[in-house]
Amino acid sequence: MTENPTVVRFAPSPTGFLHVGNLRTAIINALFAEKTGGRFLLRLDDTDQARSREEYVDGIRRDLAWLGIRVDGEERQSQRTAAYEAAFERLKTAGRVYPCYETAEELDIRRKIQLSRGLPPVYDRAGLKLTDDERAKLEAEGRRPHWRFKLETDSRIAFDDLVQGHVSMDPASLSDPVVRREDGSWLYMLPSVIDDVDMGITHVVRGQDHLTNSAVQLQMFEALGAKPPAFAHLALLSTKSGELSKRLGSAGVEHYKALGVEPLALIAYLARLGTSLPIEPVTDRQALVETFDWSRFNKANALFDEADLTTLNTKILHHLDFADVQDRLPEGMTAEDWLLLRGNVNRLDEIAAVWKIVTGPIAPVIEDVAFIETARAVLDALPWADDIWKRWTGVLKERTGRKGKELFLPLRLALTGEAHGPEMGPLLVRIGREAALERLCVPQ
């Protein structure tokens, strides 16, 4: 154990189901926590009471469980308002939050004027300039304040991001962010920082779209007298058409399940997408944990291609152990059966059809009647053992002069009804003597 073990958090808002971008953030947080022997917290950003739903909370937990992500603790922002109140009071005393009284319409008009004059639409800090009398007058009119965090604008905000490298921003180009609404409810920015401090978060890993938030939040950490965490801002996902497609933006675990994608395949794909490490069919996630390295992450957007994911899924499936799939296999399938048949499916739900080759009923395809009659008679006369296929085809080769495809294909067609499929030797043993002889019966 290191002195300061890693603590990361995955912080979705339960206002919808997780989409592939969220899943990627969760996976990368989890792999990093595993690599460093740290903890992974699920933080539910449910300050938006109107849009947060329990159904989504359950969905998020279910999705993480499906991915096999171990959650070491769960927190909910809606239960932490006392901590937010206390920190807010401290910031108020320190003059780092101030009340503002503009309506949304007033702010909008001001922004439009600034833009029309070619000025950046930055909040003019009118709220900060109000006298006590002016504030009292506004309150007497029935206005309630919303609250902004006052940015220090003396120097640039700079930090070293684990993915983006050196980041530097001019706070004067940013508006003081609103942290609390008129009705006392919280916006995401400040509670997130208070949580990160209280929960001892060492690394904030999230999408690049939060980069500006991070600059602002760095000042919040400082204002609260806390050491800021390290940041890793992941480049966003894009599709071939350029930006994140609507479909990709809404595709979540249910979508990938319907495509037959295994959790390990989604993890293997998303862990390596947008990195300089190859996307490869790993057989367990440990390989991804071991090779995890921030210096391998690209700054440029990562190109998400569903076809690459499904191809990877098939490759991974062909190497999965019986234990990984056991509870989803048809009744009666053994570990040997899985080894014999797994190479014949592109997705796991195809296994039922392939399993039918063993259990039947199948529709034998018999074109060369005379040959199959001979084959049946030879098989019937041979003692049955594990090497039956080899001995059977050996005798047939000698007796008929056939070899290669001419010898094997009619046998496969008669025994399985298909031109392609699992290796015949072990398959024939699995089909068994009686069923094999029955399938070789030429209909009269």
| Nearest-approach distance from CB 34 to ligand GLU, in angstroms | 19
End-to-end CA, the chain: 75
| Nearest-approach distance from CB 21 to ligand GLU, in angstroms | 9
Options 8, 11, 354, 427; binder of ligand GLU; rule CB under 6 A: 11
Residue with smaller CB distance to ligand GLU, 150 or 206: 206
Options 24, 203, 206, 272; binder of ligand GLU; rule CB under 6 A: 206
Options 8, 12, 220, 428; binder of ligand GLU; rule CB under 6 A: 12
| Nearest-approach distance from CB 210 to ligand GLU, in angstroms | 6
Residue with smaller CB distance to ligand GLU, 192 or 344: 192
| Nearest-approach distance from CB 234 to ligand GLU, in angstroms | 11
| Nearest-approach distance from CB 352 to ligand GLU, in angstroms | 38
Exposure of 246 by Cβ count < 10 A (0-12 exposed, 13-18 middle, 19+ buried)? exposed
Residue with smaller CB distance to ligand GLU, 56 or 269: 56
Phi, psi of 100 (to 5 degrees): -130, 150
Q: Given the rule CB under 6 A, which of 10-18, 31-39, 100-108, 232-240 is the region that contacts ligand GLU?
A: 10-18
> Shortest CA distance to 361 belongs to which of 272, 279, 435, 275?
435
| Nearest-approach distance from CB 303 to ligand GLU, in angstroms | 22
Residue with smaller CB distance to ligand GLU, 209 or 423: 209
Q: Given the rule CB under 6 A, which of 9-17, 219-227, 242-250, 282-290 is the region that contacts ligand GLU?
A: 9-17
228 interacts with ligand GLU by CB under 6 A: no
| Nearest-approach distance from CB 14 to ligand GLU, in angstroms | 9
Residue with smaller CB distance to ligand GLU, 194 or 341: 194
192 interacts with ligand GLU by CB under 6 A: yes
233 interacts with ligand GLU by CB under 6 A: no
- CA gyration radius, the chain: 32
| Nearest-approach distance from CB 244 to ligand GLU, in angstroms | 14
Residue with smaller CB distance to ligand GLU, 188 or 371: 188
Alpha carbon distance 32, 423 (integer Å): 41
Alpha carbon distance 431, 79 (integer Å): 60
* Helix/strand/coil (H/E/C) assignment for every residue in the chain: CCCCCCEEEECCCCCCCCCHHHHHHHHHHHHHHHHHCCEEEEEECCCCCCCCCHHHHHHHHHHHHHHCCCCCEEEEHHHCHHHHHHHHHHHHHCCCEEEECCCHHHHHHHHHHHHHCCCCCCCCCHHHHCCHHHHHHHHHCCCCCEEEECCCCCCCEEEEECCCEEEEECHHHCCCCEEECCCCCECCHHHHHHHHHHCCCCEEEEEHHHHHHHHHHHHHHHHCCCCCCEEEEECCEECCCCCCCHHHHHCCHHHHHHCCCCHHHHHHHHHHCCECCCCCCCCCCHHHHHHCCHHHECCCCEECCHHHHHHHHHHHHCCCCHHHHHHHCCCCCCHHHHHHHHHHCCCHHHHHHHHHHHHCCCCCCCCCHHHHHHHHHHHHHCCCCCCHHHHHHHHHHHHHCCCHHHHHHHHHHHHHCCCCCCCHHHHHHHHCHHHHHHHCCCCC
Mark 240-259 with x for binding to ligand GLU (rule: CB under 6 A) and - for no binding: --------------------
| Nearest-approach distance from CB 189 to ligand GLU, in angstroms | 9
Residue with smaller CB distance to ligand GLU, 12 or 422: 12
Options 34, 45, 63, 324; binder of ligand GLU; rule CB under 6 A: 45
234 interacts with ligand GLU by CB under 6 A: no
219 interacts with ligand GLU by CB under 6 A: no
Number of residues binding to ligand GLU, judged by CB under 6 A = 8
13 interacts with ligand GLU by CB under 6 A: yes
Residue with smaller CB distance to ligand GLU, 192 or 313: 192
19 interacts with ligand GLU by CB under 6 A: no
214 interacts with ligand GLU by CB under 6 A: no
Residues 6+ apart with CB under 8 A from 394: none
Residue nearest to ligand GLU (CB): 45
Residue with smaller CB distance to ligand GLU, 99 or 229: 229
Residues that bind ligand GLU (CB under 6 A): 11-13, 45, 188, 192, 206, 210
